[in-house]
Amino acid sequence: MSKVRKYSFYSLLIFYSILTIVPFLWSLSTSFKPSDEVYQSNLIPDQPTMKAYATVFGKIQPNFQTLFANSLFIACGVVVLHLIFAALAGYAFARLRFPGRDVLFFVVLGCMMIPDQLRLVPMYQLLVKMGLINTGPSNYLAIFLIKAISAADVFLMRQYFLTMPKEMEDAAKIDGAGPFQLFTRVMLPNAAPVLATVAILTFQGTWNDLFWPSIVLQSPSHWTLPFGILQFKGQFSTDWPPIMALVVLSTVPILALYTFGQRYIINVQLASSAKG
């Protein structure tokens, strides 16, 4: 690479990094600002204060701890469901032959195209009939039912299983492994990267989801973080520091998860149909 080329290359990278990072630094900075500094353009607060954090941990109802616990519980539950069902179905569609496979897979692909908003009315009616729209703990079940399975995850998992070499399976078959052992002992361990990808993307999607929680969760003690942010924004319109404190606190877990899991995500190989 020539020097000019190298410099322009790096300045492009750095410019785009600034575009992606600075807005977040602003929200971090705002969360430490006293109210009268919010509208000033300084990035480092003149008089930094923890007041906003004291507010979100103590004063708001429900407080940050409750919102966080709910978000974590719901996101983890949905991750477990997605992993189990996507692995099972993805494996069957990729590695097993059975009558009706293509038709059923087409149904799965079709499900990917059904917008969540189309499900809004009938799903809600159904949940009401099942008695899951209430202020008790069974209200969580409604969220788990809505989000039990994802066609996109099945698709991703299938594509990954398609790329696995047949030899691996054959070797285990010669050793006399049954289909289920084959799945749990050979396929799953080798699918760690795609499992991690599905887990991280599902966690992120559920953690950030605003649409369903705002419709389904009836009691404030069940609310999740994004819903809490919106509620809080409604109540405290322009009291930016606590809102930004919530934004920061709700982004940190996702950031940590991503930092930890990024090597898995990067290793996911999207299936290439060219091979096989």
Partner 1 sequence: MTSTSHRTSRLGRKRSESLVAYGFISIPMALFLFLSVGIFIYAVYISTFDWGIMGPTKNIGLDNYRKAFSDPIFLKAIRNSVKYALLVVPIQSAIGLYLALLVNSKIKGSKFFRSAFYFPSIASSAAITTLFIFLMAPDGVFNGVLRFFGVDTANLFNQGAWLSDSRTALYSIIGLNAWTTSGTMMLFYLANLQTVDSQFAEAAVMDGATRRQVFWYITMPLLKPAHLFVVATGMIGALQLYDQAILAGGADGSPDYSLMTVVLYIYNACFRKFEFGYASAIGVILFVIIFSLTVLQKSLFGSAAWKGDN
Partner 2 sequence: MKKAPIGVSLLALALTLSLVPQARAAEAVTTISVSTWGSSPSETSALKDAVATFESRNPSIKVDLIVDNDHGAQMAARFASKTPNDVFYLDAGVAQDWAAQGVLLDLMPSITTAKFNLTKFNASYLKPFQSGAKLFGLPKDANPLVLEGNKDLMATAGITALPKTTSQFASHAKALLAKGITPMCVDADINRLGAYFVAFGGGLASSTNKSLLSSATSKAGLEWAMTNYKSGAFKTPAQLSAGWAGEAFGKAKCAYTMEGAWLDPYLKDSFPDVYDSMIKGPLPTAKQAGSLAFTAAYAIGKDSPHPKEAWTFIEYMTGARGMTVWTSFGVAIPSRSDVATPLGYEVNGTVAKLATTVTTPAFKGWGDVVGAFNNEAKKQIQDKNFNVKKAAAAIIAAAEAAWPKG
Is 235 one of the binding residues for partner 2 (CB under 8 A)? yes
CB neighbours of residue 185 within 10 Å: 14
Crossing angle for the helix pair 116-129 and 139-146, nearest 10 degrees? 140
- Does residue 275 contact residue 163 with C-beta atoms inside 8 Å? yes
The residue among 40 and 181 lying less far from partner 2, judged by its C-beta, is: 40
The residue among 136 and 179 lying less far from partner 1, judged by its C-beta, is: 179
- Residue count, binding to partner 2 (CB under 8 A): 22
Q: Binds 268, which of partner 1, partner 2, none (CB < 5 to 8 A, cut-off by type)? A: partner 1
Task: Note the Cα 118 to chain centre separation in Å.
Answer: 21
The residue among 138 and 260 lying less far from partner 1, judged by its C-beta, is: 260
Is 31 one of the binding residues for partner 1 (CB under 8 A)? no
C-alpha dihedral (160, 162, 163, 168), degrees to nearest 10: 110
- Does residue 271 contact residue 162 with C-beta atoms inside 8 Å? yes
Return the range that interacts with partner 2 (CB under 8 A); candidates 66-74, 183-191, 211-219, 267-275.
Answer: 211-219
Where b means 16+ CB within 10 Å and e means fewer, 116-147 reads eeeeeeebbeebeeeebbeeeeebbbbbebbb
Kindly identify the residues of this chain, within the stretch 257-276, that bind partner 1 according to CB under 8 A: 258-259, 262, 265-276
Kindly identify the residues of this chain, within the stretch 222-241, that bind partner 1 according to CB under 8 A: 225-226, 229-230, 233
C-alpha to C-alpha distance for 140 and 217, rounded to whole angstroms? 7
C-alpha dihedral (73, 68, 70, 38), degrees to nearest 10: -140
Q: Binds 88, which of partner 2, partner 1, none (CB < 5 to 8 A, cut-off by type)? A: partner 1
Return the range that interacts with partner 2 (CB under 8 A); candidates 123-131, 149-157, 249-257, 266-274.
Answer: 123-131
Q: Binds 159, which of partner 1, partner 2, none (CB < 5 to 8 A, cut-off by type)? A: partner 1
Per CB under 8 A, the list member of 140, 231, 251, 254 interacting with partner 2 is: 231
C-alpha to C-alpha distance for 75 and 77, rounded to whole angstroms? 5
Is 7 one of the binding residues for partner 1 (CB under 8 A)? no
The residue among 66 and 203 lying less far from partner 1, judged by its C-beta, is: 203
Is 52 one of the binding residues for partner 2 (CB under 8 A)? no
Q: Binds 80, which of partner 2, partner 1, none (CB < 5 to 8 A, cut-off by type)? A: none
Is 141 one of the binding residues for partner 1 (CB under 8 A)? no
Rg for the chain (alpha carbons), in Å? 23
- Does residue 253 contact residue 207 with C-beta atoms inside 8 Å? yes
Query: Can you give the binding site for partner 2, defined by CB under 8 A?
Result: 35, 39, 124-125, 127-128, 133-135, 214-215, 218, 220, 230-231, 233-239
